[in-house]
Structure formats: C-alpha cells, structure tokens
Amino acid sequence: MEEIVTKKKWWMGKVAYQIWPKSFADGNGDGIGDLYGIIDKLDYLKQLGVDIIWISPLYRSPLVDQGYDISDYYDINPLFGDLDTMDRLIAEAKKRNIYIVMDLVVNHCSDEHEWFKKAMADPDGEYGRYFYIAEKKDGKLPCNWRSYFGGSVWEPIPGTDKYYLHSFHKKQPDLNWENPKLRKEIYKMINWWLDRGIAGFRLDAIINIKKKLPFKDYEPDRDDGLANIGKMLEEAEGVGEYLEEMKHETFEKYDAFTVGEVFNDKESEIAEYIGENGHFSSKFDFGPELCGKKADWMDHEKVTAEMYKEAIFESQARTGSIGFLSNIIENHDEPRGVSRFIPAEDLCDTSKKALACAYFFLRGIPFIYQGQEIGMENCRFDSIDEYDDISTKEEYRVCLEMGCDEKKALELAYTFSRDNARTPVQWTGGSNAGFTTGTLWMKVNPDYKRINLESQRDNKDSVYNFYKKMISIYKEPKYHEILTFGEFIPYKRNQKNLISYFRQAENKKILVMVNFQKRPQCVEIPGMTGQIILDNTDRSMTDIIKAAGIDENRKNGINIELTGYEALVIELI
C-alpha cells in the first residue's frame, strides 16, 4: 500500500456535489424539492462517493431569484423545511462523513428583509446606511451602471427623491459593505451557521461587494445609455480588505471550506485569493463557462473542443500549484455541460463520459452538479412563458429588442437559459421522473424516460456508473495523492481535438487522454506503456496495442488510435 501523505487541509482531495434544492428531490409531495428530499438522498450521494454537498440558498426568501434574494438569514424557507430539519440534515450528513456547505449571499439581500423595510421607512436613518441610497445630481442618476438582470441599478424609493442601488434585480438591494455595522451583522450570521455545524460556504457574487466610489458613469455600451456593471468592477479596488476581515472574523476560526464565485480576478491575484493564506479555500474555474460568451446571447459563439481545451488548460497553467480551483462543467447558472461542450450531433453516453473524464481529473476540487452524473441535457420549453428564470426572461427580451424573432430567441433560450439546469432531477422513468408525487413546480425534461437514474443504476455502461467509477478511482489510495496534489502537465496540446494531460508526482505519472471528436485519431503514448485504469470503450491496453499493430513488448512510445470520443486514464509504468 502506498503511503498517504497527510493532507494539508481537510477539504483537499474531496469530491463535491451541488444541490439546487427546488429541483433536487421532493420529500413531502408538494411538487417542490426540499430538505426532506435531500436527507432521503444522502445514501445515494454517499454511494456515488460525494464528500461535500454545497446547497444553493435554503434561507427564507420570496424566491424572485430562486433564493438568491434572502429575507431572513437566520431561517429556512418553509417550502424547504425548517431549522430542525436543517439540523437533522447536518447530523445525518455527519454520520455519513459528508460535509454540508451553504450558499452565502451577502452582496445583496431581499427587499423583503427587515433591514431594507426599515431603510425604506427612514432612508436617512441607521438602516438606510445598510444600503446604497443616493439622490439624483443635476437631474441625473448617480451613475449609468446596468444591473446584471437588465435596466439601471437605481430604483426610486417611493415618496422620496432618493434611489437605492441593486446590482441584480430590483428586489435584490445591495448591502453597503462600507458600513462596519453591516459587516459585523454579516459576520455574526456566518458564525451562527458555522456554530450549527456546517462546514463552510460558497460565496455568491462576492467580488461585487466592493464598489468603485464615488459613483460615476462609464461609456454606454448599448442604446439604453447604460454601461455593463462589470466595467465598474474592473476599477474597484480593495475588496481584499473586506474578504480578509471576513475570513478572520469567521471562517478561519472554524477551519471552514470556502469557495468563491469569482469571475474577474487577475492572474497576479490568484495567490491572494486561493493561495496558502488566500481569502478563500478555493474558487470556481469559470474559464470553460465563459468560453464563447459575449455580452448578449445573440453574439455568443459555439464552443469547440479546442476552445474548451484552451480554457481549462489556461486556468490550470495560471493556477499551477498555487491553490485549488473548483472544477465544473455546469451549475445552476449555466446550461447543461454536455449540451454546451459536446456538439448536438455527437451527444451520446460515450461523449458524455469523455467530457466527464476531461474535467474530473484536472488539478482542483471536482464539483458535480445535480443530474450531471446521469448525463442530464438541456430542456426545450415551448414558449417563454414556460420559463421561470428572471435572467432568461431579460435575455430573451434583449434578443427581441435587438431584432431577433421569437423562434430564434426561444432557440437561444434552449441553448443558454439557466433553466436548462433547473428542471427536476430525473430519478426514474415513472411519473414526474420520480421527483415528486405532487404537482411539479417546473416541468420535467421530456427526455426523462431515456435519461434517468433508475435505468442507469444497474447498467454497468451507464453514465452514472462511469461517474461512480471515476470517483472511486480518484479516491483509491494508490491514486488519491497524485490526483489531488500531482502537477498538471499538458500533453500534445497542439493536437487538434485531443484533450490530454499528465498528473504527475515524484515517481508516478497518470495520463488522461480524450479524443474529443467523433472521428478516430492517432496519438502517441509517451515512454513505456502502462495500465488503463479508466476508459469509456471497454478496450484493454492489449486490444489497443493489437489494433495498432504494435509489438506489445516494445518499451518506448507507441502510437495508438483512439476511437471517437474515446477516453483513457492510464497509469504509466
């Protein structure tokens, strides 16, 4: 047995899983996913090999932005359960050695939060200073920033000549982090949850907490005269001071795991964010998610295998061994990874496994989003009214405004909407895909008869069993060390549609090789041959070598032919 080096931090080498609670599993039959459903599925997640579960917001909320609009940080939304049930989840997870990570949404709260209500009643009072409230100057709003969900960031406060700022929806007023009192309130709340036994947080929109002040206009980038709020973020400096203060006042005391939703950090800032003493334990690698994205849906480019490869390789190269990225192919804000990164005509179990293999063994913490492990795909909706997501509706509106017809706009929604990842998890091929016995809050993807867990569980060739195997290899003591800490080294980076890399530690080398195209392609296995530890085609090394017509005893580089979307993980000897 190999020696396992003591881990530097408890969360390194763990496998994480994201739950978007409304669509995960309904435990009480009202058509909406909930804490009871999550508790019921803990054994399932354990069997899959999951160690950390990040749950998107469960707090009390009017759900305008599906929980990212919190009206009470100290309570659970009654739709999902209550605090006792949350405690039960934490306890049941602990029994199974699973860590619960919550979502921390502190750039903004809901306009139904009592702080905001008090601020509206007295904008010049104590709670007014919890938010950004300003007046027009010379008849002009304080700045021309466009909120993420469309329109100006400024919303009038009825009965006054004042406005409040919202970076997202108008029902999500931004909290004023310049105010030490507000910051203290936030830290108190964070510690209250950590005391309850959660293991950490995913930090929502966290870079937005620092604004570039005083407010000023930027060059408008559309006919609405507004400028993307991202322009302001590029100039805002000093967010690190808040992040450090928050870390010292909260996370650090509990050895908590934190993963930041960070989009716009600069290369020089990686260590500051996720280095040994960084602000967070980890941050998501959004490189692949940003692939091909432009300001509007209409301008987005199709993602090619080469674009995807360059995105992940670039992030790996930038990060090196400075820290741990959290690697994803999708989340609740993105379309399904398999629909985005695999051309529609090539979408099948083999290509889904190939994509899984390409990202899962990257250096960092692998995150799996609910349903990803069974290969869930984008979902078609027949009209914009069927969509739930506020951002989808806004993007759709912009498409129409820019001259797109409804059919085309709907097609774009099918490709890019966040609701693609928000349809209920397909547990069975039965009624409502086994998600609920009640009335669905959102439609199930009609493909559920073809794609569901029930049909995949006992099928050794299923996507689900591939994920299970991938996780068990990742955790195997022989490989765990190298797959956690081993260096990432690209292999044949210039070979088109080949995604291949080594994970390397002192005297061990693992080679991941994925032919990310339908056509076969030849590739050289470097040095001596090795042993296949994972594959998606069921060919043994002997088969592969034979097919290549090579003498099996040859000890230096051999050329093999990978079949379409073939993925191999090889332990090189």
- Comparison of 428 and 521: residue with beta carbon closer to Ca ion: 428
Phi, psi of 103 (to 5 degrees): -90, 135
| Contact with ligand NOJ (CB under 6 A) among 26, 34, 51, 65 | 65
Closest CA to 106 of 177, 55, 192: 177
* Smallest distance from Ca ion to CB 382, Å: 25
Angle (CA) 389-258-65 rounded to 5° is 15
Instruction: Tell me the two tokens of residue 232.
Output: 């302001």
Task: Give me the residue label for tokens 């602990």.
Answer: 94
- Comparison of 332 and 539: residue with beta carbon closer to ligand NOJ: 332
Residue number, nearest CB to ligand NOJ: 68
Residue 204 falls in the annotated catalytic set: yes
* Smallest distance from ligand NOJ to CB 172, Å: 7
Instruction: Tell me the two tokens of residue 370.
Output: 């609910």
Closest CA to 185 of 122, 132, 87, 113: 113
x-marked contacts with Ca ion along 6-45 as a string, rule CB under 5 A: --------------------x-x-x-x-x-----------
Which among Ca ion, ligand NOJ, none contacts residue 28 (Cβ within 5 to 8 A by kind)?
Answer: Ca ion
| Contact yes or no for 21/75 (Cβ under 8 A) | no
* Smallest distance from ligand NOJ to CB 59, Å: 12
* Smallest distance from ligand NOJ to CB 547, Å: 45
Task: Give me the residue label for tokens 């980076």.
Answer: 493
- Comparison of 13 and 57: residue with beta carbon closer to ligand NOJ: 57
Binding status of residue 341 toward ligand NOJ by CB under 6 A: no
CA–CA separation, 41 and 20 (whole Å): 13
* Smallest distance from Ca ion to CB 75, Å: 17
- Comparison of 65 and 566: residue with beta carbon closer to ligand NOJ: 65
Which conformational region is residue 139 in: left (phi greater than 0), alpha (psi within -120 to 50 degrees), or beta? left
| Contact yes or no for 52/17 (Cβ under 8 A) | yes
Torsion of CA 149, 151, 152, 155, to 10 degrees: -90
Which among Ca ion, ligand NOJ, none contacts residue 65 (Cβ within 5 to 8 A by kind)?
Answer: ligand NOJ
Phi, psi of 122 (to 5 degrees): -150, 80
Angle (CA) 275-280-77 rounded to 5° is 165
- Comparison of 30 and 178: residue with beta carbon closer to Ca ion: 30
Binding status of residue 333 toward ligand NOJ by CB under 6 A: yes
| Contact yes or no for 541/532 (Cβ under 8 A) | yes
* Smallest distance from Ca ion to CB 441, Å: 9
Which among ligand NOJ, Ca ion, none contacts residue 34 (Cβ within 5 to 8 A by kind)?
Answer: Ca ion
Q: Is the C-alpha dihedral spanning 522, 525, 529, 530 positive or negative?
A: negative
Q: Residue 118 half-sphere exposure, CB side, CA atoms within 13 Å?
A: 11
Binding status of residue 204 toward ligand NOJ by CB under 6 A: yes
| Contact with ligand NOJ (CB under 6 A) among 16, 76, 101, 105 | 105
CA–CA separation, 147 and 135 (whole Å): 18
- Comparison of 284 and 359: residue with beta carbon closer to ligand NOJ: 284
Instruction: Tell me the two tokens of residue 464.
Output: 């689900």
| Contact with ligand NOJ (CB under 6 A) among 168, 308, 448, 565 | 168
| Contact yes or no for 240/215 (Cβ under 8 A) | no
Which among ligand NOJ, Ca ion, none contacts residue 509 (Cβ within 5 to 8 A by kind)?
Answer: none
CA–CA separation, 454 and 374 (whole Å): 10
- Comparison of 31 and 278: residue with beta carbon closer to Ca ion: 31
Task: Give me the residue label for tokens 């996720």.
Answer: 274
- What order of strands is seen across the sheet that includes strand 162-165? 133-135, 162-165, 154-156
CA–CA separation, 363 and 178 (whole Å): 36
* Smallest distance from ligand NOJ to CB 296, Å: 18
Instruction: Tell me the two tokens of residue 139.
Output: 């008849």
* Smallest distance from ligand NOJ to CB 261, Å: 6
| Contact with ligand NOJ (CB under 6 A) among 76, 141, 205, 374 | 205
CA–CA separation, 490 and 316 (whole Å): 9
- Comparison of 39 and 203: residue with beta carbon closer to Ca ion: 39
Largest Cα–Cα separation, the chain: 85
Closest CA to 499 of 323, 319, 314, 302: 314
Length of the chain: 573
Using CB under 5 A, count the residues that bind Ca ion.
5
- Comparison of 105 and 399: residue with beta carbon closer to ligand NOJ: 105
CA–CA separation, 25 and 19 (whole Å): 10
* Smallest distance from ligand NOJ to CB 63, Å: 11
Residue 234 falls in the annotated catalytic set: no
β-partners of residue 165 are 154
Instruction: Tell me the two tokens of residue 81.
Output: 């359960």
Which among ligand NOJ, Ca ion, none contacts residue 428 (Cβ within 5 to 8 A by kind)?
Answer: none
* Smallest distance from ligand NOJ to CB 68, Å: 3
Binding status of residue 535 toward ligand NOJ by CB under 6 A: no
Strands 133-135 and 200-203: unpaired
- Comparison of 204 and 285: residue with beta carbon closer to ligand NOJ: 204
Which among ligand NOJ, Ca ion, none contacts residue 30 (Cβ within 5 to 8 A by kind)?
Answer: Ca ion
Q: Which of 69, 111, 261, 349 is catalytic?
A: 261
Q: Which of 26, 65, 111, 204 is catalytic?
A: 204
Binding status of residue 106 toward ligand NOJ by CB under 6 A: no
The residues binding ligand NOJ (CB under 6 A) are 65, 68, 105, 168, 204-205, 261, 332-333
Residues near Ca ion, by CB under 5 A: 26, 28, 30, 32, 34
Where in the sequence numbering do the catalytic residues fall? 204, 261
